[in-house]
Homo-oligomer: A and B are copies of this chain.
Amino acid sequence: MKQTVAIIGAGETGAGWAARFRVMGWDVRLFDPDDMARGLVGAVLQQARRGLPGLSDVALPETGDMVFCQTISEAVDGAVWIQECLPERLELKRKVFQKIQEHCDRRAVIASSTGTFTLAELQGCATRPEQIIAAHAIAPIYLLPLVELAVNDVNSPEVTARAKEVLQGIGMAPVDQQGEERVSVALQNALQTEADRLIAEGMATADDISDVLRYGLGLRWAASGLDASQDAVLVAMLRALKAQDAGAGAVLNRFDATQAEPVLDIKQPLPTVTRTVPLDWTDYNGHMNEVRYLQAFGDATDRFMEIIGCDADYIASGGSYFTVETHIRHLDEVHAGARIRVETQCLLGEGKKMHLFHRMYEGDRLLATGEHMLIHVSLDTRRATVPADHIAARLGQIATAHAALDLPDGAGRAVGEDR
């Protein structure tokens, strides 16, 4: 059965909590005296819907309902969790806690988002202080799992257990607050204070400081906190950033762009990929995962497209090739650190069609073949169209030259066919 959360105060923090609870399947009741809050909540919810469910490799529950309420009493009606997200003014919070407790269920958990006040201060004037805890998260609350959880002797063990259960149930990782300070606030302030000092003393610009974090320190801290990081974890993060062309990943892309490309002889299969198998491409079987074979073949197809003129500029102008069919044969294993290369033979290149055959090698050892049918499309209509003349001409040249080559072993095969 769906559970209900009340969010009191729908600024950035309230919107973030509302979005996380709702995407995780909770019904959400919001109260904010400012009608403008609706726009912000809608925008944050849209972000959360794009980002959060994809973090899971399983299906999340159906998204819950959301209601904007006119009063606090209406908002907390039926709520088993009440998240207070008001401005950091103690008297305001205390007044609202009293109001909440006039109307809410005695068994509900009331969690404050405060990054400033101690739990004892928050409980100070409450009717039932045992119901009040603090749960402090950082933006974007709908993506980052961190939540600092403060409970004390006034809370019952049931409230404490229930708080952890709810927070874990919405995908968060509660970190128990040991004292009165929020660790995230203290660390962030310490770093910001030092950054301000370095800037004031002319030791660094704000950009320099961001670079030092993005290219080095932040990666280590994200991978493993204050402990030494594992290479595979750093490599995986760096490669994720590379795919986004962000942070340290943008440095890697700039480096790649400086490396020389092989000379092309169009009478032979074209060298379209030469690379090393990354640490994060291996799987539980101890070898390169099947998905990464297709990733290398996909890169080979991208490179072939570039060679015939279907590059980033052309794609931006509205034309591209879509893969409609793929056949892969896995012939031999390969491991992290091995240098692999892909050679690409064009089996057909006329009209809307492009039929490619990739062979992947480590040295002379044939590891896999990939056969792909691609169709040229208009990115506006998403329908098949013929490519621009210069692309048709270049593709035609290569297809004609490759027609003189032998048909590769394995081309035209169906899965499970006798060899």
Which residues of A are interface residues toward B (Cβ below 8 A)?
A: 47, 49-51, 53-60, 137-140, 143-146, 148, 168-169, 171-173, 175-181, 183-184, 186-188, 190-195, 198, 201-244, 246-248, 251-252, 254-256, 258-259, 261, 274-281, 284-286, 289-291, 294-295, 298-299, 312, 315, 320, 322-330, 333, 336-337, 339, 341, 348, 355, 371-373, 379, 382, 412-417
Q: Is the CB of B235 within 8 A of A51?
A: yes
Which of B175, B233, B240 is close to A247, meaning CB atoms less than 8 Å apart? B233
How distant is A187 from chain B, measured CB to nearest CB, in Å?
A: 6
Given contacts A59-B259, A145-B252, A248-B145, contact A412 B415 (CB under 8 A): yes
Q: Is the CB of A244 within 8 A of B232?
A: yes
Query: Which residues of B have CB within 8 Å of A239?
Result: 54-55, 240
Would you give 16 A-B contacts (Cβ < 8 Å), ordered by A? A59-B341, A138-B217, A139-B228, A143-B231, A144-B248, A146-B215, A171-B251, A172-B251, A175-B212, A218-B223, A222-B222, A233-B246, A237-B237, A285-B322, A290-B294, A355-B415
Give this chain's copy count: 2
**Listed residue (A192, A254, A416) with the most chain B CB atoms within 10 angstroms of its CB:** A416
Which of B54, B138, B201, B219 is close to A216, meaning CB atoms less than 8 Å apart? B138
Q: Is the CB of B203 within 8 A of A55?
A: no
Query: Which residues of B have CB within 8 Å of A322?
Result: 285, 330
Given contacts A337-B54, A413-B414, contact A244 B280 (CB under 8 A): yes
Q: Across the two chains, which residue of chain B brings its CB closest to A369?
A: B325
Q: Is the CB of B203 within 8 A of A56?
A: no
- Cα distance, A201 to B417, chains bound together (Å): 70
Q: Is the CB of B213 within 8 A of A222?
A: yes
- Cα distance, A379 to B202, chains bound together (Å): 59
- Cα distance, A171 to B49, chains bound together (Å): 36
How distant is A213 from chain B, measured CB to nearest CB, in Å?
A: 4
Q: Is the CB of B183 within 8 A of A209?
A: yes
How distant is A331 from chain B, measured CB to nearest CB, in Å?
A: 8
Query: Which residues of B have CB within 8 Å of A137?
Result: 216
Q: Is the CB of B56 within 8 A of A252?
A: yes
Which of B188, B412, B416 is close to A416, meaning CB atoms less than 8 Å apart? B412
Q: Is the CB of B178 within 8 A of A202?
A: yes
- Besides A59-B259, A188-B217, A294-B326, 7 other A-B contacts (C-beta < 8 A): A146-B216, A172-B251, A173-B215, A210-B227, A324-B329, A325-B328, A412-B415
Q: Is the CB of B143 within 8 A of A234?
A: yes
Query: Which residues of B have CB within 8 Å of A325?
Result: 327-330, 413, 415-416
Q: Is the CB of A218 within 8 A of B222?
A: yes
